[in-house]
Chains A and B, each alone.
Chain A
C-alpha cells in the first residue's frame, strides 16, 4: 500500500471531522413553520408517503414537535395538525399535542386557536376524541377564564359523545365544569378517571401528564 494513500485517508477523515465540528448544530437554527398544505397538498403528502399514511402522520407530528413554542404561527400549526389527522384520522397524537402542548401557550389568542382546532376536530369523531375536548374545557375555564367557552365544550361532549365507553363524569361535563374546584383538583380527577378506565396506556404519555400535574402543583402552591 503506498504511503500517500494512507496519508490521504487520514487527512480526509480528519478534515471531515473538523468540517463537521465547525458547522452549527441543526437544533440551534430557529426555523419558521412553513405554510400547511391545503386539500391538494394533503393528497401530495399521501403521494409522497407512497401509501404509508399512518407513518407519515406520525413523522409529521415529530416534525411539529421540533419547533419552538414561542413565536409559532398557530394558523400554520393548526393547518399541519389537520393534515396529520387527514393522513390518519384514527391517531390521537395531533389532538394530544394540541390539548397538552400547544393550547397551554401563555398567549390567550394562540391558546384559543388550539382549543378551537380541538373543538372542530372533536365533532368528526366524538366518541374517540372526547378526552382532548374535556381537557380543552378545563383550559378554557382555568387558563382563559372563559366559562361560557368551557361550558360550550362541555355541552358538546354531553351531546355528541354517546358511546358506552365515555365515563359518567365526562357525560356530565357541564356539572364538572361548574363545580367550585381549582385547576389542580379538576386535573387530578380527570387524570385519575382516565387512568382508571385505561384510557392512558402509553408510558410516555403517562410520564408526560404526571410531569404536567407536578408543574401545576408547583404553580398552585
Chain B
C-alpha cells in the first residue's frame, strides 16, 4: 500500500512542521475574539460569537491548508525529493493520490479541531455537519493547492491561485446576483458581462453553500440540501484530482 504509506508520511510531516501549533493558535485567537465580542454585544451574544468565530476559523483553516500544501510540495520539488520518489517503482497516480489522501486527512483533523470549540456554543449535531462540510471543503482546497503547486512550481503564485479560486467560488453567487439585479445594465456590454459571470460560475464549485454559519446559528440544514452541497464539493474534488493526475502523469522531471 504505497499510497497509504505516503499519506501517513504527509500527516507525520504536518505534525512535525508545526501545523497543530498553528491550529491551536488560531483556536486561541478565536477564543479571545469570542471573549471580546461577548463584552460588546447588546443582544444575541452567543450568535455573534458563533458567527464571527466560525468565519474566522473557516478562513484560518483554508489559509493553513493552502499554505501548507503549497510550501511542502515545492520543498519536495526543490530538495529533489520528488525526483527521488518518482525513481521508485511506484505508479505516479499512487504517489499523487497518496499525497492528496494525507493532505485531505490533515484537513479533516483540522476541521474536527476547529469544530470542537464551536460545539460548545452550537448544537453538537449542527457542529458535526459543519465539520464534515469543512473537511470536504479543505480536501478541495488541498487538491487545488497541490494542482497549482505542481503546475506553477512557485509558492506565491500557487498560494495566490488557490486562494483566488477559493474566494471566487465563495463569492460567485453574489457576483451573479449583482450582475442580474433589477437595475442591471440592459445594453449589449451588460448582457455580455452577465454571460461571462454565468460562464465562470459553471466552472466553479458553490462554496457559498458549504460550511454555512447559518447551520450553527439556526440549526442543521435539511438532509437533501446538505447531501447536495457535499455531493457538489466531492464532484469538484474529483475534477481537481483528475486535472492534477493528468498534469502529474505528463510531467518531465
**A198 CB to closest chain B CB, in angstroms?**
14
Residues of B within 8 A of A39 (CB): 181-183
Interface residues of A in 75-123 (CB under 8 A from B): 88, 90-93, 96-97, 100-101
Bound CA–CA A57/B207 (angstroms): 19
**A131 CB to closest chain B CB, in angstroms?**
11
- Indicate if the CB atoms of B213 and A54 lie closer than 8 Å: yes
Additional pairs, 20, CB under 8 Å, beyond known A52-B51, A54-B217: A39-B182, A39-B183, A51-B170, A51-B207, A54-B213, A55-B55, A58-B48, A58-B51, A62-B37, A90-B214, A92-B43, A93-B44, A93-B48, A96-B43, A101-B42, A202-B44, A202-B45, A204-B42, A205-B44, A208-B43
**A171 CB to closest chain B CB, in angstroms?**
24
- Indicate if the CB atoms of A90 and B174 lie closer than 8 Å: no
- Given the interface contacts A39-B182, A93-B44, A96-B43, does A59 sit within 8 Å of B174 by beta carbon? no
Q: Does B94 contact A (CB under 8 A)?
A: no
Q: Does A9 contact B (CB under 8 A)?
A: no
Q: Does B40 contact A (CB under 8 A)?
A: yes
**In the complex, what residue of chain A is closest to B167 when comparing beta carbons?**
A50
- Indicate if the CB atoms of B47 and A58 lie closer than 8 Å: yes
Residues of A within 8 A of B58 (CB): 52
A32-65 near B? 1/0 per residue, CB < 8 Å: 0000000110011011001110110111001001
- Given the interface contacts A39-B183, A58-B52, A208-B43, does A46 sit within 8 Å of B214 by beta carbon? no
- Given the interface contacts A55-B54, A90-B217, does A205 sit within 8 Å of B42 by beta carbon? yes
**In the complex, what residue of chain A is closest to B45 when comparing beta carbons?**
A204
**In the complex, what residue of chain B is closest to A62 when comparing beta carbons?**
B40
Out of B42, B55, B173, name the residue touching A97 (CB < 8 Å): B42
- Indicate if the CB atoms of B42 and A65 lie closer than 8 Å: yes
Q: Does B121 contact A (CB under 8 A)?
A: no
Chain B residues within 8 Å of chain A by Cβ, number: 34
Bound CA–CA A205/B41 (angstroms): 8
- Given the interface contacts A39-B181, A39-B182, A52-B213, does A47 sit within 8 Å of B40 by beta carbon? no
Bound CA–CA A40/B182 (angstroms): 9
- Given the interface contacts A40-B183, A55-B54, does A46 sit within 8 Å of B43 by beta carbon? no
Residues of B within 8 A of A93 (CB): 42-44, 48
Q: Does B234 contact A (CB under 8 A)?
A: no
Interface residues of A in 194-212 (CB under 8 A from B): 202-205, 208
B20-41 near A? 1/0 per residue, CB < 8 Å: 0000000000000000011011
Residues of A within 8 A of B173 (CB): 51
Interface residues of A in 1-59 (CB under 8 A from B): 39-40, 43-44, 46-47, 50-52, 54-55, 57-59
Q: Give the B-binding residues of A (Cβ under 8 A).
A: 39-40, 43-44, 46-47, 50-52, 54-55, 57-59, 62, 65, 88, 90-93, 96-97, 100-101, 202-205, 208
- Indicate if the CB atoms of B174 and A51 lie closer than 8 Å: yes
Residues of B within 8 A of A202 (CB): 41, 43-46
- Indicate if the CB atoms of B47 and A43 lie closer than 8 Å: no
Bound CA–CA A202/B44 (angstroms): 6
Out of B48, B52, B181, B208, name the residue touching A43 (CB < 8 Å): B181
Q: Does B178 contact A (CB under 8 A)?
A: yes
Residues of A within 8 A of B246 (CB): none
Interface centre among A58, A97, A100, A203 (most CB of B within 10 A): A58
B63-104 near A? 1/0 per residue, CB < 8 Å: 000000000000000000000000000000000000000000
- Given the interface contacts A55-B213, A204-B45, does A90 sit within 8 Å of B52 by beta carbon? no
Residues of A within 8 A of B213 (CB): 52, 54-55
Interface residues of B in 196-253 (CB under 8 A from A): 207-208, 212-214, 217-218
